[in-house]
Every structure is written in structure tokens, then in C-alpha cells.
């Protein structure tokens, strides 16, 4: 708070005594309202002051003679006639105290000696001990009722009386004060009837001559009144526990008081002020616990020499001494931290002695400290705890003690003056308390002090006029804000009448206001709210709103008809600052009409200039970025960046356009939509121009480049365009189209909105997509041609027997690995994936064409095996362990057809038959329809004797094949494939005549090995036929049962020993009958094409016969 203090401090103006301050000028008043409210109850009191024409040396000498020397003599007198010990732990000698006051009240040695000799010649005071008997507790009950009627006797015994008392103690006596000290030196308190906890609060002044050897005596007695025998008998009947006291009372002399206890204190052991509870001591060992007595003891002077400081009260002298001690302390303080109110030990001792000797109450002492410290606060940095402590003390004493009229007036003036001074500081809080971590706590402290003052009963009593601190602080802040604005406006006045200079001056002024509003919102508002509940941000904002609106209207009126690019450019910072200030209205606690609400309307004429400028600047930056671009991928950090510098620069160049939308925040929704259309159009133009400029740059750089470098540059161009496309995709989010749609839904139709903005973006994206496809097509053409050449080279007749499958596919894989690695390194992932998909589809297409165009059947299996191996390698290459194309993309319909074709053509005829049977088994497993009936059987395999046992139980729901509507069914059992079960003959059940649900219950054993049962396609084929005597048997249906899943043949069983196998439980199986479809199976078609293999032809012929007998239609 050093900035709030006066720069010069002298001895005569640092602190002033109450008489000196009454004539001093008040702090400057900042508001008529404050003069009206605070001035109603305060009247200026004049004093005689030093003449202004006196020179400093004469003024210093006069001050010393009239002010310092009287105080100096008072302190010398206090030291000489000091009594008691100070409250501080350290005790100072008389010489130490003399040395201190000689330094604090700057006196020469000669002056000190002269004044000391003068004080020694003055009349000594009357030494007194002011004793206040406050209360006692838990004293003895001496009366029959169990209570006492206590009173106290007080006196001071000096050396002679103490000696006489000790000589007379041959026989113990309970009475000391009454027997030794004369009655005129004994002081008696009131008698408190029937209590064990009496309260007196009586003060006595006891004089003595010498503190050495003197002691303070207090005796507490129970007053004994004469009571009739009748009354005592009544007490006996009502309280039998008092019988012992009555018997004892009968023995003693009538009218003799009972001794309750005593307190004896040596004066030289006491502090100058004591306030303690003391134990009541007994005369003998009986009843040692006699309770306690609360005493307040203070050494005071009576009849002090009045020539020490003639005409000055003790309170005035105390104020002067305090101020001089504080000044001496601060002058010696070396650190820059605020003064925390601590005085040196000598000063505290002297102030304590002086206050005690002159019987200054704690209220007057705290009042003097408040007055002194509050004035010191106005000149130096004083810790707030000092003022808070004194305010609390003054408020406490206000309820306990009445102040003299003069001191009341002084307290009222002090509180009034500090409030007025504090409000002056509040008005200038910007300059005095800047928004720094060290300054804002000081402002908070000042406001808390002002609040504390207004809460005190003393202020409310001494300043009865209506005073609302919240309103006063608000008025001070508002007045200070207007003064601050006026000063800043004067500092930023334009030097000429040039339009651009006028706008620039306004911009600087608004910038200052914007920064001040920010500080009020972020720093000062918390301070004012927490301290005085004043929303300083709202007060300041509303005042600035009015002041700025006036200045902006004035400036814009001067620009009518003079708008040009330079002026518009100068207005843009003004607009941005006003926009930022206007957004801060969201933090206002109280809403109302603001003059800056529609400030944007004044800048409508400059808006086209701003849009034109940002577009031209962006377009120029983009063109310069492309001109210096070498179309080389950026390498930055561990992850390489695959696009070039111009793509990065373009994104950075577009950002100002997006930022312009946020900066403008145009309030009119319809105009805001048109503004968005214009900004989007500009971005799209810049993107399209960038594409054309980049293509021209590729053409220029490719003229003298080798093909590899040209392809590399083309890859970078594709990456640049892809990067730009991702940026365009984010444009609706960056420009917040969704928020704009909600805002403009009442003025812009949905169809108009979506037909305008998205269409602009789609056009730009279509240009990018077209350019990217063109570049990728150029890259893909060379790859597709090379892949086709490599694949067709594997189909030549002369290479089939000369190379293995791996060797035949190796050239193609080496080529693809090299090219893929090159493309992966030079294309971003999006473009690399975009290139991979057409390459994969084209590779599958080439393989299919080559596979289906093989001219001869001879060598087809070997060739298809090579192509199948090649297809598998291509899949691994394009998938790249999950880093390339996903499997879902790779496994297209064309791929599945090609794979099935190559797989089947790569197999032998026997393998194809096995594959066919596996397919039929799968068809059997998924079929649940019993459209043609079903057959039920029990089946199991015994490993011990290698026997397959099948028991045909029955058939149900068979088709009627005879004219009578019935059938003569039987079941044929055959193990297939034949090349696996070539020695096993088919078996048949008996014929069941005229029955559609025949019951067979016939068992059949087939001697086959476990390996045969687990062979690929191994199954039991059950064919149900209708027996005809003269014609071929009719086909009822067939079923396929896989052998490897039967009990005993399944792989879950372990062990090969014949005796170690557990007995197998046959499985009952119900198999729906199937009818094959006509010419549907591709495996049969393939087998049919292999005309040179008799076994294949026989099997196909058999299956075709079944198809002819089938009732299933495609």
C-alpha cells in the first residue's frame, strides 16, 4: 500500500495528538453524497497550529519545546516514581529506560541532564494502590443456614506495622487488620448477606509511602448478628444439619464475626496492573480450602506535579508518548514489510507505567492506539491486524465503559475521517491496488476495515446519519471509473484531425477499457464481493457501456461517407475490442438495457472491406506457399509427415477466415447467414485455386525430373489434396453450421440453408475427389499392367513342369512388395488404402481371367494350384497383418468365386468326391425339414474289434410311390467314398410291403478301421427305395451320416488298447431324407469336365441318376 501514502514523512506530521489533529484539514472529499451523509454529524474543530511562514529549523525547535519536552518530563517522572513490575518478561533498569527515551525523544545529553535534574526537584506523588474487589467464590459457610454474610477489610501494612504484628504473635489470633492497623487506614466493603459466592465490584484507593517492605492485606469476615433463642430453635427444627454450627456458635462471644480467609501480597512482587484470582488463606490449619477472591490491583499516583506538562491531560500525554514511540520504532525498522503494531520492550514498559500511574482505563488506551494507528495507516504500510485489533477492543469497551465527551468526539472524528479516507482510496483502486497477488489483498483488507467500522456500535452511535457502505462504495467506484476514463481519454487524444488517427486513438482507448474490464472481472470483483458484497464488475461495466457508446457514436459520425480500405482496416480492431467487451455482459449480475447492445450496426459499411481484405490476404499467402513448395514430404519427429509444406501453410492460411466468423459474431441472423455463405464461398475458391496452382507446380517441377521423382511428387500431391479434403470436412464444425442453423431457423428455410452452404462445400470436395482419383488412376495404371504381366507369365505351357508353385509366384510377390513399400512410404494412409482397393479388385479380376482362360485340361490342376497359392500370397500382402485392407474388403464376391474355382480345380477327382460328400453332410446337418420323410437308426463304432454297427429302426412319413397310395420301402446302406471303403459292400434291409411308416429293426455290422471312419468325407449313405418287381425301384430319399462323429469314433475317446476301451452306447439318430437339386452342384460339374478319369465319370453318372429321380426342383 505504499502507493497510497504521502511521499514525505517528518517528525511533526507523522502522528498528531488529539488537540493537534482537530484543526488539521480533512482528506479530500470525492463525492457530494459523502459530504452530505458523513458531514451531518461531524463538525470541524479548530486548533492553533504552527505558522506556515516559520522555517523548518524554527518549527523543529518550537515543536521540541512545546511538545516533546513536556512529554519527556512526564516520562522521567514516571520512571523515577515507578511502582510494580511491567507485564513483559524482560525488566528494564532505570538507565535503560532513560537511554531509550533520550533516543526516541531526540534529546542531547545536556538537555537530558537538565530535564532529569529538573524532574528530581519536583514534588513526588502520593503512592497508591487502587484495589478493586470484584467477587469471591466457594467461601466457607459460617452461619447456621450454611451460608455466610461476607465482607472484606483492606489495608496496606508497611515495615513498622509488619514488625509489630510479628512481635504480637505469641498466641495465634485470627485478627490482624483490626488489632494492628488504625481504623482510618482500614477500608471495609459492603456486607453481602447469605451467600457463598459474593459479588462486590468495589474499588478502594490505599495510600502508602514506600513500596519496599509494604504488603497488601485483605481479610474476609462473616458478619455475625445477635439472634434470639427462639429463632435458633426454629433453625434446629428446620435444619438438623446445623446443630453442630449452633453448638459452636453458643461457645463464642456474642457479636463476634467469623474469620473466612485472607489474601496477603507484597507490593514489590506485584505488577503495575494485576487482575487475578487469589486463594483465601487460613490463620490455622483448619479449613485450608476457604475459596478464592478476584482482585484487580493497580499502582497509581495521586497529586502528580502539575508543572510537568501544564494544561495537558494524562490522555493527551499518553497519545503523544505513544505516537513518539511508534515513530521511533518505524524509523528503526529496516525491513519493508508492513508494520505489525509491535513496539520495543522499553516503549511498552513506559506506556504501561504511565497508563497505570495516571489511571488511564483500557478503553482510553485502546482509543489512543486506534487514533494513532489509523492515522499511521494513511501514510505508511500498517498490517491490517493492528487496526482490526484496536477496532475490536474499542467496540468491546464501548459496551463496558462510558467515554468522556471529548474522547467521544475524538473517536467519532477518527472513524469518520478514516471512512472518508478509505472511500477516497476505493475511488482510485486501479492506481493504488493494481491487480497483482500482492496488492489485491491490501484492497480486501481496506474494505474489511471499512465494513468493521460501520458495524461498530461506536460509529452507529456517534454518526447517526443514514450511511450505507455498499452504496458509498458503489458511488466511489463509479466516480473513480469516470475519472479514470477521462484521464485515459485525454492521454489518447489524436494529434491530428486525420480520420485514421482518430480511429486509432479510439482503438487505443477501448483497448485500455477492455483490459480494465478484464481486471475487474478476474481480480477486483472477487475482492469487492467477498468484502462488501459490491459487484464492482457490474458497476464498472455499466459505466463504461455508457461512456464508450458515446465515444463510438461520436467517432462513427465523423466517418460517414469517408469509408475506404485503410479506414476499414483501422476500424477492425475497434470492432473486435467492442465485441470482446460486449461478450463480457454475460457476467453481469443484474441485467438491463445496455447502450452497446447493437453497436455492430455502425460497422455495417466496413464489413465488405473486411471480407475482401481477408480473402485477398489468404489467397496471396497460398500462392506464395505453393511457389516455394518443392513437393517433398515433411519429415518431423518419429512419425513422418507425408504432405508438403504448402498443405500445412494452406490450413494455416484458411484459419483467419474461420476466425473472422467468430470475431464478427454478427447479431442479425439473416445477415449472419449471408456472411457465412460469403466466407464459405471464399474458402472453397481458395481450395479450388490451390488445386490448380499445385498442378501447375507439378508440371513445372516434372519437366526436368526422372520418372521416379515425378511419381514421388505425384504421391505428395495426392497427400496434399487428401489432407485438404479432411480440412474441408471439418469446416462445418469449425464454422458451427449447426449453431447457425438453429439461430437462423426462423428467417432462413431449411431447404435454402442446405441448398446453399452444403452445396458449396460439396462442389469443392468434388473437385478434390476428382483430382485425387486422377492422380491415383495414373499411379494404378502402371501397377495393374505389371501385375497382369506377372500373372500371365505363370500360365505359359513351358513353365508348368519346370518350376514349383512358390518359384512361379515369387517374381510377382517381389514386385508387389517393392511397389507397396514404396507407395506406403510416399502416400498417407487414406490414399494408400484408396490405391489398395482398386489394385486388389483388379488383381482378383486378372487371376480369374487367367484361370478361366486356360486353353487345355492338361496341367490345369497344377496351374490352379499356383494361382491359388498366388491368391493366398496376395491376400497376405494386401492385408499386411491388419495394417492394410480389412478382410471384409478383401473377401469380396469376386474373391469368393475365384477362391472356390481355384480350390476345386486344384483338387484331384477323389478329393473332389470327398469335398462333395462333406458338402452333403453339411447340408444334412442344417436340414430340419422332413418333407420327404425321415429314417431313425442306432449307430456306434467299436474300436476293439473295428466294427461299425448300424441298426435301422424305422422310417416315417415316406412318399407314396405306388398306385395304391402306399410304398414297399427298404433301406440301402452304403459307406462312401468308395476309394476309402473299396472292400465294403452295400447292405439292404428287408422290404416292408404297403407301408409308409415301416418298422425295420435290423442291425448291420461293417468291418472298417478307425482311420477309415475319420477319413475326409467318410459317411454312411442311407438310400430309401420303393421296391418294384417289374420296373426300376423308385427313389424315396437319401440321408448322409458322418462317421467321425459317431460314439466310439469321435476323437474325445483316448487309448488304443483293445481292452482299455469302455463299452460304447449307440447313438439314436433321426435323419431327414433329402432330394438332390438338378445341376446345382459345381463339384459335379467340375468332375463331369474331367472326361479322362473313369472313376469321376462313374460317380457323376450315379449322382445325375439321383437328380433325375429327385422330386426337388430348383
* Residue 978 CB burial class (10 angstroms; 0-12, 13-18, ≥19): middle
Alpha carbon 674 to its chain's center: 39
Which pLDDT does position 11 carry in this prediction? 37
d(CA 477, CA 39): 20
Torsion over CA: 917, 923, 926, 931 (sign): negative
The region of weakest confidence among 174-183, 201-210, 670-679 is 174-183
Average pLDDT over residues 376-405: 82
Q: Using H for helix, E for strand and C for coil, what is the string for 704-744?
A: CCCHHHHHHHHHHHHHHHHHHHHHHHCHHHHCCHHHHHHHH
| Backbone phi, psi, residue 1094, to 5° | -70, -40
Distances (CA, A) of 843 to 99, 806, 881, 987: 110, 18, 19, 51
d(CA 315, CA 309): 12
Average pLDDT over residues 335-363: 85
Band of residue 393 on the pLDDT scale cut at 50, 70, 90: confident
Which pLDDT does position 44 carry in this prediction? 40
Nearest CA to 791 out of 854, 881, 740, 722 is that of 854
Average pLDDT over residues 1020-1045: 91
Q: Pick 850 or 193 by higher pLDDT.
A: 193
The region of weakest confidence among 97-106, 212-221, 278-287, 1035-1044 is 278-287
Which pLDDT does position 175 carry in this prediction? 56
Q: Pick 851 or 764 by higher pLDDT.
A: 764
The region of weakest confidence among 228-242, 323-337, 616-630, 1058-1072 is 228-242
d(CA 581, CA 592): 16
Whether 412 contacts 42, CB under 8 Å: yes
d(CA 25, CA 123): 40
d(CA 877, CA 898): 17
Band of residue 161 on the pLDDT scale cut at 50, 70, 90: low
Nearest CA to 793 out of 811, 806, 820 is that of 811
Tell me which residue has cell 464461398. Answer: 681
Which pLDDT does position 859 carry in this prediction? 67
The region of weakest confidence among 535-549, 710-724, 930-944 is 710-724
Mean pLDDT value across the chain: 82
The strand pairing partners of 85, in sequence order, are: 271
The edge-to-edge listing of strands for the beta sheet with 934-942 is: 999-1007, 947-956, 934-942, 1067-1072
Which pLDDT does position 858 carry in this prediction? 59
Tell me which residue has cell 491490517. Answer: 384
Q: What is the pLDDT of residues 439-459, one digit of tens each?
A: 888 899 889 988 888 888 888
Q: Pick 11 or 590 by higher pLDDT.
A: 590
Q: Pick 808 or 896 by higher pLDDT.
A: 896
d(CA 413, CA 407): 10
Which pLDDT does position 857 carry in this prediction? 57
Q: What is the pLDDT of residues 1-29, one digit of tens each?
A: 444 443 333 334 434 444 444 444 434 34
Average pLDDT over residues 377-391: 82
- The reported pTM is 0.59
Band of residue 396 on the pLDDT scale cut at 50, 70, 90: confident
d(CA 867, CA 898): 10
Average pLDDT over residues 233-257: 55
Average pLDDT over residues 525-546: 91
The region of weakest confidence among 20-24, 215-219, 299-303 is 20-24
Average pLDDT over residues 156-175: 60
Q: What is the pLDDT of residues 994-1007, one digit of tens each?
A: 999 999 999 999 99
Of the chain, the percentage scoring pLDDT greater than 90 comes to 25
d(CA 700, CA 698): 5
The region of weakest confidence among 189-203, 362-376, 469-483, 1052-1066 is 1052-1066
Which pLDDT does position 638 carry in this prediction? 61
Which pLDDT does position 245 carry in this prediction? 54
Which pLDDT does position 5 carry in this prediction? 42
Tell me: pLDDT of 684 over 50.
yes
Average pLDDT over residues 348-369: 88
Tell me: pLDDT of 630 over 90.
no
Average pLDDT over residues 593-607: 85
Which pLDDT does position 1081 carry in this prediction? 77
d(CA 1063, CA 1081): 40
Which pLDDT does position 1111 carry in this prediction? 82
Average pLDDT over residues 545-564: 87
Which pLDDT does position 718 carry in this prediction? 83
Which pLDDT does position 22 carry in this prediction? 43
Q: What is the pLDDT of residues 754-806, one digit of tens each?
A: 888 888 888 888 888 888 888 778 777 777 777 777 777 766 544 444 457 77
Tell me: pLDDT of 189 over 90.
yes
Q: What is the pLDDT of residues 1084-1105, one digit of tens each?
A: 877 777 777 888 888 888 888 8
Q: Pick 643 or 318 by higher pLDDT.
A: 318
d(CA 178, CA 256): 12
The region of weakest confidence among 23-27, 174-178, 490-494, 749-753 is 23-27
Which pLDDT does position 728 carry in this prediction? 87
Amino acid at each position: 500500500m505504499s502507493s497510497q501514502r504521502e511521499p514525505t514523512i517528518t517528525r511533526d506530521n507523522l502522528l498528531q495528538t488529539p488537540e493537534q489533529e482537530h484543526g488539521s484539514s480533512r482528506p479530500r472529499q470525492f463525492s457530494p453524497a459523502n459530504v452530505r451523509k458523513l458531514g451531518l454529524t461531524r463538525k470541524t474543530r479548530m486548533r492553533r497550529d504552527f505558522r506556515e511562514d516559520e522555517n523548518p529549523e524554527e518549527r523543529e525547535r518550537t515543536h521540541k519545546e512545546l511538545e516533546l519536552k513536556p512529554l519527556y518530563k512526564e516520562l522521567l517522572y514516571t520512571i523515577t516514581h515507578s511502582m510494580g513490575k511491567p507485564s513483559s518478561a524482560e525488566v528494564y533498569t532505570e538507565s535503560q529506560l532513560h537511554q531509550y527515551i533520550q533516543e526516541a525523544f531526540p534529546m542531547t545529553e545536556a538537555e537530558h541532564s537538565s530535564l532529569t535534574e529538573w524532574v528530581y526537584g519536583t514534588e513526588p506523588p502520593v503512592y497508591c494502590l487502587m484495589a478493586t474487589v470484584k467477587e469471591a467464590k466457594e467461601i466457607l459457610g459460617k452461619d447456621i443456614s450454611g451460608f455466610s454474610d461476607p465482607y472484606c477489610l483492606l489495608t496496606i501494612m508497611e515495615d513498622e506495622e509488619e514488625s509489630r504484628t510479628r512481635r504480637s504473635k505469641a498466641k495465634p489470633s485470627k485478627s490482624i487488620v483490626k488489632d494492628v492497623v488504625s481504623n482510618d487506614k482500614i477500608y471495609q466493603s459492603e456486607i453481602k448477606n447469605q451467600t457463598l459466592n459474593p459479588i462486590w465490584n468495589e474499588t478502594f484507593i490505599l495510600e502508602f509511602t514506600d513500596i519496599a517492605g509494604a504488603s497488601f492485606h485483605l481479610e474476609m469476615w462473616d458478619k455475625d448478628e445477635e439472634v434470639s433463642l427462639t429463632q435458633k430453635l426454629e433453625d434446629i427444627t428446620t435444619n438438623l444439619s446445623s446443630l453442630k454450627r449452633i453448638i459452636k456458635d453458643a461457645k463464642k462471644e456474642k457479636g463476634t464475626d467469623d474469620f473466612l480467609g485472607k489474601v496477603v501480597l507484597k507490593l514489590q512482587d506485584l505488577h503495575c496492573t494485576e487482575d487475578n484470582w487469589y486463594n483465601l488463606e487460613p490463620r490455622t490449619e483448619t479449613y485450608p480450602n476457604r475459596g478464592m477472591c478476584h482482585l484487580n490491583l493497580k499502582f497509581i499516583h495521586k497529586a502528580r506535579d502539575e508543572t510537568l506538562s501544564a494544561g495537558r491531560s494524562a490522555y493527551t500525554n499518553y497519545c503523544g508518548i505513544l505516537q513518539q514511540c511508534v515513530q521511533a520504532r518505524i524509523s528503526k525498522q529496516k525491513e519493508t514489510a508492513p508494520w505489525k503494531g509491535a513496539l520495543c520492550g522499553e516503549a511498552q514498559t513506559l506506556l504501561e507505567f504511565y497508563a497505570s500511574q495516571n489511571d488511564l482505563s483500557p478503553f482510553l488506551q485502546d482509543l489512543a492506539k486506534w487514533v494513532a494507528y489509523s492515522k499511521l495507516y494513511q501514510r505508511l504500510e500498517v498490517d491490517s491486524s493492528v487496526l482490526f485489533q484496536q477496532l475490536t477492543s474499542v467496540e468491546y469497551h464501548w459496551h463496558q465503559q462510558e467515554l468522556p465527551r471529548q474522547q467521544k468526539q475524538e473517536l467519532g472524528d477518527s472513524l469518520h475521517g478514516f471512512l472518508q479516507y478509505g472511500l477516497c482510496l476505493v475511488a482510485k483502486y486501479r492506481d493504488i491496488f493494481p491487480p497483482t497477488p500482492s496488492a489485491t489483498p491490501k484492497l480486501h483488507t481496506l474494505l474489511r476495515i471499512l465494513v468493521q467500522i460501520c458495524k461498530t456500535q461506536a460509529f452507529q452511535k456517534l454518526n447517526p446519519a443514514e450511511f450505507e457502505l455498499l452504496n458509498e462504495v458503489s458511488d466511489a467506484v463509479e466516480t473513480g471509473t469516470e475519472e479514470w476514463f477521462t484521464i485515459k481519454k485525454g492521454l489518447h487524444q489524436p494529434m491530428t484531425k486525420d480520420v485514421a488517427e482518430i480511429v486509432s486513438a479510439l482503438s487505443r482507448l477501448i483497448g485500455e477499457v477492455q483490459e480494465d474490464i478484464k481486471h475487474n472481472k478476474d481480480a477486483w470483483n472477487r475482492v469487492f464481493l467477498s468484502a462488501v458484497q459490491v459487484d464492482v464488475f457490474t458497476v464498472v461495466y455499466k459505466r463504461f457501456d455508457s461512456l464508450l457508446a458515446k465515444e463510438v457514436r461520436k467517432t462513427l459520425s465523423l466517418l460517414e461517407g469517408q469509408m475506404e480500405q485503410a479506414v476499414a482496416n483501422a476500424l477492425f480492431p475497434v470492432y473486435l475490442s467492442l465485441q470482446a467487451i460486449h461478450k463480457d455482459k454475460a457476467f453481469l449480475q443484474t441485467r438491463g438495457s445496455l447502450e452497446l447492445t447493437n453497436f455492430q450496426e455502425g460497422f455495417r459499411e466496413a464489413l465488405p472491406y473486411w471480407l475482401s481484405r481477408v480473402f485477398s490476404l489468404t489467397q496471396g499467402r497460398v500462392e506464395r506457399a505453393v511457389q516455394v513448395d518443392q513437393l517433398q514430404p515433411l519429415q518431423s519427429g518419429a512419425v513422418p509427415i507425408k504432405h508438403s509444406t504448402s498443405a500445412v501453410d494452406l490450413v494455416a492460411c484458411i484459419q483467419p477466415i474461420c476466425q473472422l466468423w467468430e470475431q464478427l459474431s454478427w447479431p442479425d441472423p439473416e445477415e449472419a447467414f449471408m456472411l457465412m455463405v460469403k466466407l464459405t464461398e471464399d474458402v472453397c475458391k481458395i481450395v479450388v485455386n490451390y488445386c490448380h496452382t499445385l498442378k501447375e507446380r507439378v508440371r513445372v517441377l516434372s519437366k526436368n525430373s526422372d520418372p521416379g521423382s515425378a511419381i514421388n511428387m505425384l504421391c505428395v500431391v495426392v497427400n496434399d489434396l487428401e489432407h485438404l479434403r479432411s480440412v474441408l470436412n471439418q469446416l462445418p464444425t469449425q464454422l458451427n453450421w449447426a449453431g447457425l442453423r438453429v439461430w437462423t431457423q426462423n428467417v432462413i428455410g431449411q431447404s435454402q440453408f442446405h441448398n446453399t452452404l452444403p452445396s458449396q462445400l460439396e462442389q469443392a470436395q468434388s473437385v478434390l475427389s476428382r483430382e485425387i482419383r486422377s492422380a491415383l488412376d495414373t499411379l494404378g495404371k502402371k501397377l495393374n499392367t505389371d501385375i497382369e504381366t506377372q500373372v500371365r507369365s505363370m500360365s505359359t505351357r513351358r513353365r508348368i513342369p519346370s518350376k514349383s508353385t512358390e518359384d512361379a509366384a515369387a517374381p510377382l510377390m517381389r514386385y508387389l512388395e517393392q511397389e507397396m513399400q514404396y507407395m506406403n512410404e510416399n502416400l498417407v494412409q487414406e490414399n494408400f488404402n484408396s490405391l489398395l482397393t482398386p489394385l486388389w479388385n483388379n488383381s482378383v479380376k486378372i487371376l480369374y481371367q487367367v484361370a478361366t482362360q486356360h486353353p487345355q485340361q492338361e496341367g490345369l490342376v497344377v496351374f490352379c494350384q499356383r494361382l491359388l497359392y498366388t491368391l493366398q500370397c496376395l491376400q497376405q500382402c494386401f492385408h499386411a497383418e491388419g495394417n492394410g485392407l480389412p478382410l471384409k474388403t478383401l473377401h469380396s464376391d469376386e474373391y469368393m468365386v475365384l477362391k472356390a474355382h481355384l480350390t476345386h480345380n486344384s483338387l484331384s477327382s477323389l478329393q473332389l468326391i470327398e469335398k462333395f460328400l462333406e458338402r452333403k453332410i453339411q447340408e444334412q446337418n442344417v436340414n430340419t425339414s422332413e418333407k420327404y420323410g425321415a429314417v431313425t437308426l442306432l449307430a456306434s463304432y467299436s474300436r476293439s474289434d473295428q466294427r461299425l454297427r448300424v441298426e435301422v429302426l424305422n422310417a416315417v412319413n415316406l412318399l407314396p410311390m405306388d398306385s395304391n397310395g402306399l410304398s414297399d420301402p427298404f433301406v440301402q446302406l452304403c459307406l462312401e467314398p468308395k476309394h476309402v471303403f473299396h472292400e465294403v459292400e452295400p447292405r439292404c434291409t428287408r422290404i416292408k410291403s404297403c407301408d409308409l411308416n415301416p418298422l425295420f429293426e435290423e442291425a448291420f455290422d461293417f468291418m472298417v478301421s478307425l482311420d477309415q471312419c475319420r477319413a475326409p468325407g467318410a459317411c454312411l449313405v442311407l438310400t430309401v427305395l420303393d421296391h418294384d418287381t417289374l420296373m426300376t425301384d423308385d427313389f424315396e430319399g437319401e440321408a448322409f451320416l458322418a462317421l467321425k462323429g459317431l460314439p466310439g469314433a469321435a476323437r474325445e475317446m483316448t487309448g488304443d488298447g483293445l481292452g482299455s476301451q469302455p463299452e460304447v452306447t449307440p447313438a439314436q439318430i433321426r435323419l431327414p431324407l433329402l432330394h438332390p437339386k438338378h445341376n446345382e452342384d459345381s463339384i459335379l460339374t467340375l468332375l463331369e469336365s474331367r472326361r479322362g478319369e473313369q472313376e469321376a465319370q462313374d460317380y457323376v453318372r450315379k449322382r445325375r441318376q439321383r437328380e433325375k429321380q429327385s422330386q426337388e426342383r430348383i
